[in-house]
Amino acid sequence: MRDREDILSRMTLQEKVSMLAGSDMWHTTPVKRLGIPAVKMTDGPNGARGGGGFSDGVKAACFPAGVALASTWNTDLVERIGQALGQEARSKGASVLLAPTVNIHRSPLGGRNFECYSEDPYLSGRMAVAYIKGVQSQGVGATLKHYVCNDSEYQRNSISSEVSERALREIYLAPFQAAVQEAKPWAVMASYNKVNGTFASENPLTLTEILKEEWDFDGVVMSDWFGTQSTVASVKAGLDLEMPGPAAWRGEKLLQAVERGEVDEATIDESVRRLLRLIARTGAFEHPDEEPERLIARSIKLWLVKRRRRASSCSKTNTMCFHSSPKS
């Protein structure tokens, strides 16, 4: 295990700043001089696609969407699916999966309801805990998203969600809190919207005071894709990583902000520590080379065969069967 504090002590300011933004659409920025590798990310939203793009590349298994998983009320099944998704991410050379989504269903018109679990904060939390435990059991980091109150389709990228303290705590934060405190995800993704007038990606109340201090979250906080809105405010509020890269708000802009005294180098160090922790958790220090993408089909086929056999058995005995788990 590499000594992360030793690595940090040998980094230049420019190297530290470079790590706080991605290098491309799916990778963090490596520091080759010190043997710091890049980490590859992937999402679905109901699988783990490769890096070829949104419609091409190596094929991937398609899993039931979040709303379908929550409809089972079966946390054991969801944990097993999380394990399979962790394996799928690894098959695409990725070590961070950008899921699960635990935003709350507010209206049937919500275009991304399908990838969220429920209108119920408790059910959403139970599903998220199981999913994250399954994914991370495979050495792949789960990314809890979209934090927080990103539940409206109208002006999704800019709307200000005006929420009372009680509603924020009891409805919108509740599934995130359960997931963070019980399953300990390695990453959280800040949402596009504003929360009571402040963008979620630069909101010190939600990112630092609640997430990092109150809930003791020790992972990486990343932006949603192209969701970073500022340089100084986002870093000081607790946004560790701008995605995707190359940097739009970090890079040279952030370097100059530190040199002008607008951002303390200690703040940069804290974000770098979190990124180094993520790299260590994924095993990338020991295995820095990215694996080639491949398709896993065997496990899915076997599961489908078992399901067909069970269905056939039920029809022969003229009984109603409910098989909610892929156990043999």
Q: What letter does residue 290 receive in the DSSP assignment?
A: P
* Crossing angle for the helix pair 121-136 and 75-91, to the nearest 10 degrees: 40
The amino acid present at 90, given as its one-letter code, is R
Please, which residues bridge with residue 144 across strands? 188
Q: Which of 34, 40, 41, 42 is nearest to 12 (CA)?
A: 34
Enumerate the active-site residues. 224
Helices (H) then strands (E): counts for the chain? 12, 8
CA distances from 235 to 207, 231, 258, 268 (A): 10, 6, 11, 8
Nearest to 275 by CA among 50, 47, 34: 34
